[in-house]
Chains A and B, each alone.
Chain A
Amino acid sequence: MSAEVFTEQILVWLGPVPLTRTMVSSAATSLILVLVLAPVGRAVARAPSGRLAAAGRLMHGFLTDLVTQAVGRPSPGLERFAGSLFLFIAGAALLGQLPGVVPPTANLAATSSLAALVFLAVPIAGVRARGPLGYVKHYFQPNPLLFPLHLVSELSRTLALALRLFGNMMSGHLIVALIVALVGLIVPVPLMALDLLIGLLQAYIFTILASVYIGAAIRVGEED
C-alpha cells in the first residue's frame, strides 16, 4: 500500500501550471459553499421568518458569539474573515466524508496558506486599529529585550496552526484508509464519525485561535 502523505500527484498540466487534487477539491469546496449559502443569504434578506433564514441567522449568531468572546467586543470585519475560515474548514471536513474525496485541508500546502492568511491578517488588523506606531510599539513591550521572543512566538504559532489542522485531518483520513484496507465493511464507520467530529472541532479551534490572535493585535495596549 502506498500512501501519499506529503507528496501529491499532478492531475493535469494547464500550460505551465500543474493542477493537483488539492486545488480541485478546495475549489469544489468553495463552489459548493457559495452555491449552498447564497440562497441562505437571499432568504435572510427577503423573508426573515423562513426556515432557511433561521438557519442562516443561527450560523451568523454562532460566529458573532465566537468572535465577540475572543476579541471582547463586536468586530464585523473579523467576523467575515473568521466566518470564511470556519465555513471553509468545516465544509472541507464534510466533503472529506464522501468516498474517494480527500479534503483539501489534509494537504500541508493548503493548511499553510490558511495559516499564512492569519499571519498576514494579524498586523493588518493591528495597524488598522492602532496605527503603525501603536502596533509596532507592542513588540517592544514590556522590555525591548523581548522583541525576538515576540517574533518567534508569531512564527511558531503560525507553524502550529498549519501543522495542527494538517495533522488532524490527514491522520483521520489515513486511519480510515488503513481500516478500510484491512476490514472494509461497517468497522470503519465509528472511525469515520470520529473523523467528522475531529474535523468540525478543528474548524472551530482554527477559527477561535485566529480570532484570539487577531483580537490580541486589535486590543494592543487596551488591557490592564
Chain B
Amino acid sequence: MSEHTILALVSIVTAGLTMALGAIGAALGESRIGAASMDALARQPDEAGVITRNQFVALAMVESTAIFCLVIALVLLFANPLLPAR
C-alpha cells in the first residue's frame, strides 16, 4: 500500500471512531437531561413552559460536543490536510 492509501484508510477509520465515541458521551449526557427534566415536569406541571425551554437549551449545549466530533469526522473525510487535494 502506498503512503496515501494508508493515510486515507486511517482517516476513514478514525472518522468512524470519532463519531462513535463522540456520540456515546452526548447520548449519556442528553439522557440525563431528559430524565431530569421529566422528573421536574412531573413534580411541577405548572412550570412546563420554563422547564421545556431550558431543557432544549441544555440539550443543544450538550449536543454540541457530538457536533464538534461530527465536524472533525467531516474534516478527516472531506478536507483532510494530509491527503492530496482531489
Contacts and interface: CB of A to CB of B under 8 A. Distances in A.
Interface of A: 3, 5-7, 160, 163-164, 166-168, 170-171, 201-202, 204-205, 208
Contacts of A202: 60
Contact of A163 (B57, B61, B68, B78): B68
A163 B71 CA distance: 8
Given A5-B74, A6-B75, A163-B68, 9 more contacts: A163-B67, A164-B64, A166-B71, A167-B70, A167-B71, A171-B67, A205-B57, A205-B61, A208-B57
Given A202-B60, A205-B60, A208-B57, A5 B78 contact: yes
B27 interface: no
B48 interface: no
Interface residues of B, number: 14
Contacts of B79: 5-7
Contacts of A160: 64, 68
A6 B1 CA distance: 28
Nearest to B66: A167
